[in-house]
A and B are shown apart, each in its own frame.
Chain A
């Protein structure tokens, strides 16, 4: 029956890229029109369903970077290229790409938070003329948890990048939390800019505060929230904060809205 928003459809896995021991990127065949920052409800029969954000997109495919962390994701890791995965979506509000174009953009991401901003970064990597400047701060816990190594290396060539590990010292990476490096962003030199922050809730909170301290105005900051979801379309109630449904009004929020979301 058409119009059933809860009914997933099978999609072919084209490729599986091992990012870390616990994080793989699945390239999946789809004709869905996806915007940067949106997510799919991904499911496997017998196991269940989970919301996963899009980490890259191309002609006829999307990439989902998945951490092996729960019932559904554990099972997904047993799949091979050629296998079917079930999806519905894309859902949610994306990053305002058009608003970012021609301006300076600062992207601050922590851990798996790099995944939802990766497609945005790849877009501007491929369309460098469409952005005035791009500063990218990415923080990982340790060497083992670094995601998208090849992309990170490419991004260095076109963007102003600061990569950091919480404690480990390795070549090309600073030491410390991402918040400690926000002071290096030349906000004073920007005429018109946006800031994207994605990561664990505590990291987003302090990164936003650090930006505000640097004089960034609230309406220039964009966050992406992660919440439990069983439907993705405003029915199941799990992702509701105050009167706001993260699946509908998010996952991407402007800080002017995000700061008022009381959990």
Chain B
């Protein structure tokens, strides 16, 4: 069922929903952008529908709602640990299709990988329902969701389209039907982006021999001087899930404190550094290679059904060195094609040589 709701009424509905839910959406933080006089758009709790920035792309993903940058795991005293708690309220997130698909990747790591469930992720994740937010036609310049197959989803409770005075709402989840009972029924189903200005070709890596050659490609070295290993790309990524744990003591009582987990980045220099100093991916190029292959090769190899990257393109927009991730994927595709071609030529030469030998 779909309805047309005016702004005033939508705000009344939001108020009603807020009794049970915390509602998160992309919100404008004026003058908090990375360049002077620019705004930052990131996820935050909203109090009215006017808070929602629906016609621009958010700089950060909604993952922070349930996987915060810094999260308390437990408190400790001298000889005891006590698990942290979360708010009882349920969670509604206004999210784009790519981000909803991105949450599925986070679910895979936190709830399925290794056969154990991460309780800190699960306790927030099971509270979440999505309100699908339509993208603008064609998405934004850096989006490549269509190439990654994550431009569509049916995993939502409500879907909305913003109009100047009204909001169109599709209801898929019966829990919300009552709220819209007196509204005007309309024909509305959300539209998805079917083509992006940015397209990527995912290289098909079909053998270990090819993978080894990819590791040795010169293209990775070009990132040694360009990438500053800041980790901005992973911070904004809906699918990046890595973390480090950190103990903090309270200044008032140094014997009491908390263990936190803090989002970590495989692009940071110390990501693999062990106590004693031994580390495994020492250059920015090696780390870029790891991240690229993780997003478009390793994850799918491990979990089978889909690539990790959903093509939201935020990493592209956030990189202070203007390194484009879709361009990196396409560059890798070209290199892989070259490697495959060279291998075919080699095979042909070998075959010709063996035919000559037989003659």
Contacts and interface: CB of A to CB of B under 8 A. Distances in A.
A49 B272 contact: no
A237 B266 contact: yes
A227 B274 contact: yes
A46 B275 contact: no
A45 interface: yes
A40 interface: no
B141 interface: no
Contacts of A215: none
A235 B298 CA distance: 15
A82 to B, nearest CB: 12
Contacts of B242: 236-238
Listed from nearest, the 7 A-B pairs whose CB atoms lie closest are A70-B275, A234-B114, A237-B242, A45-B76, A243-B302, A234-B113, A243-B298
A72 B275 contact: yes
Given A73-B275, A234-B113, A236-B264, A1 B83 contact: yes
Contacts of B257: 45-46
Contacts of B56: none
Interface stretch (B40-48, B148-156, B187-195, B245-253): B245-253
Interface stretch (A6-14, A134-142, A206-214): A6-14
Contact of B275 (A50, A84, A247, A248): A50
Given A6-B120, A8-B81, A260 B208 contact: yes
Nearest to B83: A1
Nearest to A248: B114
B215 interface: yes
B22 interface: no
Interface of A: 1, 3-10, 43, 45-50, 67, 69-73, 84, 86, 200-201, 226-228, 230-231, 233-238, 240-245, 247-248, 260, 262-263
B113 A3 contact: no
B78 interface: yes
Contacts of B249: 46
Nearest to B249: A46
B275 A263 contact: no
B178 interface: no
A53 B182 CA distance: 64
B299 interface: yes
B79 interface: yes
B222 interface: no
Given A4-B119, A235-B241, A243 B274 contact: no
Given A8-B81, A263-B280, A228 B113 contact: no
14 contacts: A4-B119, A6-B74, A7-B81, A46-B254, A47-B247, A48-B259, A67-B276, A72-B275, A201-B278, A226-B278, A231-B245, A245-B113, A248-B114, A263-B272
Contacts of A48: 245-247, 259
Nearest to B274: A228
Contacts of B271: 228, 238
Given A46-B254, A49-B259, A238-B271, 7 more contacts: A45-B76, A47-B247, A86-B81, A201-B278, A235-B109, A236-B243, A262-B212
Nearest to B277: A69
Q: Is the interface of B mostly helix, strand, loop or mixed?
A: mixed
A237 B211 contact: no
B331 to A, nearest CB: 19
B9 to A, nearest CB: 41
Interface residues of B, number: 52
Given A86-B81, A245-B114, A238 B272 contact: yes
A131 B118 CA distance: 41
B314 interface: no
B117 interface: yes
A49 B119 contact: no
Contacts of B254: 46
B110 A235 contact: yes
Contacts of B76: 45-46
Interface string B109-140: 11001101111100000000000000000000
Interface in B316-339: none
Given A48-B245, A49-B245, A262-B215, A70 B276 contact: yes
Interface in B187-229: 208, 211-212, 215
B125 to A, nearest CB: 13
Contact of B298 (A1, A6, A242): A242
B244 interface: yes
B351 interface: no
Given A234-B114, A236-B243, A69 B298 contact: no
A240 B291 CA distance: 11
Contacts of A231: 243, 245
Contacts of A243: 298-299, 301-302
A119 B67 CA distance: 39
Contacts of B83: 1, 4, 7
B73 interface: yes
Contacts of B344: none
B295 interface: no
A67 B250 CA distance: 28
B281 interface: yes
Contacts of A10: 79-80
A230 B212 contact: no
A235 B114 contact: yes
A69 B278 CA distance: 11
A106 B76 CA distance: 45
Nearest to B77: A45
Contacts of A230: 243-245, 261, 264
B273 interface: yes
A250 to B, nearest CB: 12
A47 B259 CA distance: 9
